[in-house]
């Protein structure tokens, strides 16, 4: 790389002087160390200036992309109604973790209330081990359900107690049965609900705590609730 710079410098001197010389003429006359040092300084300066220009362009591009993303996010939120509040979750810190007692209570609420309509078909019982329950507790919980398995050696299906590798049971056998039982509405699966909604956990919490009694004089459709 250094010899390439020297060669370009020699070619520049030839063009400026207007004298045609051969390469052997320059081989016979060694270059001055001071001249080479000056050329190296000029090259370093131009390289530094080029680096500054590149960083400036990258910064401008990143700022433009960030602005476009902010505008797109705001317009997307506007299309889906009012933005939900931002709650001070204790696990939002860099070194924070989930409250395992809270996860256990949440699973109990799901079992007693939500599981009658909503499925969590992508979650297995083993996912609860070490998170909300011990392995023994989870095995006992899984054994309470019956799972259709098979076929056996005779080619017949059979039922067995659940185990850790089994997924949570679904409340309805198919979508049509779910819609029929809920007045035409299809309860969404809750396995990835915080990833499937805008603003994730804030949206879900605002929705669950946003139900109120209807104002006086307002008629609410049967089998529905008023959420604000």
* In-domain check, residue 22: yes
Number of domains within the chain? 1
* In-domain check, residue 50: yes
| Domain housing 48 | 2-79
Q: Which residues contact 171 (CB under 8 A, 6 or more apart)?
A: 115, 116, 117, 118, 119, 178, 187
* In-domain check, residue 46: yes
* In-domain check, residue 95: no
- Confidence (pTM): 0.59
pLDDT(66) > 90:
no
What pLDDT does residue 210 have? Answer: 86
pLDDT(189) > 90:
yes
* In-domain check, residue 37: yes
For the stretch 115-173, pLDDT in tens is 999 999 999 999 999 999 999 999 999 999 999 999 999 999 999 999 999 999 999 99
Q: Binning pLDDT at 50, 70 and 90, where does residue 26 land? A: very low
Contact 147, 161 (CB under 8 A): yes
Higher pLDDT, 216 or 79: 216
* In-domain check, residue 225: no
CA atoms of 181 and 172, how far apart (whole Å): 9
Query: Residues forming the annotated binding site for heme c?
Result: 114, 117-118
* In-domain check, residue 133: no
* In-domain check, residue 144: no
The residue behind tokens 């045609």 is 20
Contact 136, 160 (CB under 8 A): no
Q: Binning pLDDT at 50, 70 and 90, where does residue 30 land? A: low
Query: Residues forming the annotated binding site?
Result: 114, 117-118
Q: Binning pLDDT at 50, 70 and 90, where does residue 70 land? A: low
């Amino acid at each position: 790389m250094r010899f390439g710079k020297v060669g370009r410098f020699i070619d520049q001197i030839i063009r400026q002087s207007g004298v045609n010389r051969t390469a052997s003429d320059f081989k016979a006359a060694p270059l001055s160390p001071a001249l080479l040092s000056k050329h190296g300084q000029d090259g370093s300066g131009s390289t530094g200036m080029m680096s500054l220009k590149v960083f400036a362009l990258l910064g401008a591009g990143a700022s433009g992309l960030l602005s476009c993303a902010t505008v797109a996010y705001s317009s997307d939120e506007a299309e889906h109604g009012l933005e939900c509040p931002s709650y001070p979750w204790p696990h939002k810190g860099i070194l924070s973790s989930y409250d395992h007692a809270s996860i256990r209570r949440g699973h109990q609420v799901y079992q007693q209330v939500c599981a009658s309509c909503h499925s969590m078909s992508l979650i297995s019982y083993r996912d609860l081990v070490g998170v909300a329950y011990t392995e023994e507790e989870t095995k006992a919980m899984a054994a309470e359900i019956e799972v259709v398995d098979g076929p056996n050696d005779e080619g017949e299906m059979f039922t067995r107690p659940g185990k850790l590798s089994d997924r949570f049971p679904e409340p309805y056998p198919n979508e049509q049965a779910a819609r029929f039982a809920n007045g035409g509405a299809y309860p969404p699966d809750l396995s990835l609900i915080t990833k499937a909604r805008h603003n994730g956990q804030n949206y879900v919490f605002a929705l669950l705590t946003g139900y109120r009694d209807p104002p006086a004089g307002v008629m609410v459709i049967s089998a529905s609730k008023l959420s604000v």
